Chains A and B, each alone.
Chain A
Amino acid sequence: MKRGSLILFLIFALITFSFAERTLQIWAMGEEAKNLNVMAEKFMKENPGVKVEIQAIPWSAAYDKILTGIAGMQLPDLAQMGTTWMAPFGSMGVFEELSSYMRDSFISKDIFFEGSWQTVELNGGIYGIPWYVDVRVMFYRTDVLKEVGYDHAPQTWEELYDAAKKLAARGENMYGVSLLYTGVFGNEFMPFAWQAGGRIFDEKGNVRVTDPEFVEAIEYYARFFWEELAPMGGGNLFQDFASGAVPIFFSGPWMVNMIDQQTPEIKGKWSVALMPKKKTRTSFVGGSNWVIFNTSRNKDLAWKFIEFMTRPENQLEWYEIVGSLPAVKSVWEYPELANDPIMKVFGEQLKDAKSPPNIPQWEEIANAISRRVEEVIYKKKTPQKAAEALKKDIEKIVK
């Protein structure tokens, strides 16, 4: 009897051991993390014996948390990573290279938007998989623009400038567009440089910010401030948009819900449009990727989770939960997105969107760009002189 129960116990122990739960640890940020539980439950149902543990990290301190985690090699299996954080953290050598995982997977470069895919490629390797994307578009007040004779959104640089002039001429404290002029606004400025055909580096890695296209973009951007078409340090974006004082601004998809929530009174009086065209209508693409840490002991499982999150039906579900834009192109053909007039614009813009150079020095370059453009805005330097100074800055940074 005694022996029998021992054997039974052993068998039982063996069974539990072989089915022992494997735990997948994930770091995710803010509200994404809070809502990710829904997806995690679904994943666990599909994969019995797997436990997903999500550690929610506040956005405000995520950067420091990841940094100390990397320095001390105290990392989860999988993490959400902002696209502009890919290069700096990736350069520290803790992300798993994913090419070999992709070989036998439905995940490939072509299923994602090009600009979004740029953010996972680092030093010739693939260090992440896009999760969701952000792209900047033009938000504008349809009714206010009609007042100055525009029954459509400004389509080109010339139209934007012209519309801004007419809008600002409406009276005192009236402006055309809202643009950032202080802080770090490299991400806000770069679309204009791209639209003009400018670039920071050429294929050989030479700094090209003194090219006429880039200088033209600096001047175009600064002119809105010189001629008081864009407010400097006044008001409140929502308030001024609602009152019509500043009827045009550029921002990402998160703004759609925020405008609805914070200024419900202008419902139906605003819309979104593509970026204005110079040579192109290029915009800035950001968002978040998935990365696997190479310290993980559950890389196979982590990859499985990435595949799970990349499946079109799950991308759609995620869109419906938090409203962030799917990174997978085919999802945009679902009626939920295709029939939504606002989403259609975002989808269209995503086809012409870039991310900044994926190098760890980008943050420093973005700072330098902001500093020099700011000097032009405040008329401390001419666009040409600022571009020359910027060239020196960048050459020093990447040296």
Chain B
Amino acid sequence: MRKRKSSWLQEIAVHGFLFIMAAIMILPFLWMISTSFKTPAEIFVLPPRWIPKEPALENYRELFASINFGRPFMNTVIVASSITFLSLLISSMAGYAFAKFRFKGRDKLFFLILATLMVPGQMTMIPVFLLLRQLGLLNTYAGLILPGVASAFNIFFMRQFIMTIPNELIEAAKMDGARESFIFFRIILPLSKPALTTIAIFTFTGSWNSFLWPLIIAQDERMYTLPVAVSVLAGQYGENLGIQMAGSCVVITPILVFFLFAQRYFIKGIALTGLKG
């Protein structure tokens, strides 16, 4: 929001608020990192020490010794990026149709899609598993990817976003004789960059961290993803908290890198070049 100079007081208040919010958000994350460098003896020491007295690397050492990271890492990259790419494409197509096409039964169909979000995931676990077995997709990448691609959440979000794109833009292109595919790829997608970036981050993060489904689909350890491989090390009674935390640090580091990279696309302006001309 463009504005003339604002007062010092206002800036302090704004930044103060944001810093407090940020601190609350970061806290558990820092605790996770700090715990990953602690020996079991130090984890539950109270008051908690944020910086371990003697930072221990043994959690990471044990982690890297007992897990062969190559294969699970590659599996996770393949699965998460395929899901993200396919889901973005399919959801923005559907989102565009639901936002701008006019056809009979559109709203009912849209609500049907939305309705899939209203049933707890546990209820579909067994039927979907049986279905994938029937389709011969157990223990395959397709089985890991396909159920994650169809996302009502993404479709809904894209629809809401595309609704804000002025109709005049589309009408004008149609007057020039553009086909729907041209409008979608050349007008809608470029204008939706902030939305696409957002759901790309969410989808990628979600599928990267997803744990239960990959485990159920995998019929041997070769198909394990990173979170599954790492969580195997956790004991039945939650002992070895340090290793668990080290494991999650290893799992989420790539996401953080991905996020910092994707942030650049958040920069305002890119998306609006089409509007201003």
Contacts and interface: CB of A to CB of B under 8 A. Distances in A.
Interface of A: 29-31, 33-34, 53, 55-61, 64-65, 67-68, 71-72, 74, 236, 238-239, 254, 257-258, 261-264
A199 B245 CA distance: 42
A34 B44 contact: no
Given A64-B212, A68-B126, A68-B216, A239 B44 contact: yes
Contacts of B133: 72, 74
Contact of A61 (B43, B126, B138, B215): B215
Contacts of B39: 261
A318 B138 CA distance: 33
21 contacts: A31-B233, A34-B66, A55-B219, A56-B232, A57-B215, A58-B232, A61-B216, A64-B125, A64-B212, A64-B216, A68-B126, A72-B138, A74-B219, A238-B44, A239-B45, A239-B46, A257-B239, A258-B237, A262-B44, A263-B44, A264-B41
B216 A65 contact: yes
Contacts of A68: 125-126, 129, 216
Contacts of A264: 41
A276 to B, nearest CB: 23
Nearest to A54: B221
9 interchain residue pairs of minimum CB distance: A261-B40, A58-B231, A56-B232, A68-B129, A59-B236, A262-B40, A71-B126, A72-B133, A68-B216
B211 interface: yes
A58 B41 contact: no
Contacts of A59: 234-236
B93 interface: no
Contacts, number: 85
Given A64-B212, A71-B130, A72-B133, A30 B235 contact: yes
Given A30-B234, A68-B129, A61 B212 contact: yes
B243 to A, nearest CB: 10
Interface in B117-149: 125-126, 129-130, 133, 138
Nearest to B216: A68
Given A61-B211, A65-B215, A261-B41, A55 B220 contact: yes
A58 B234 contact: yes
A292 to B, nearest CB: 18
Contacts of A58: 211, 215, 228, 231-232, 234
A64 B217 CA distance: 11
A280 to B, nearest CB: 26
A74 B138 contact: yes
A33 B231 CA distance: 12
Interface string B147-164: 000000000000000000
Contacts of A29: 236
Contacts of B129: 68, 71-72
A238 B133 CA distance: 46
Given A33-B232, A68-B125, A53 B220 contact: yes
Contacts of B231: 58, 60-61
A168 B53 CA distance: 33
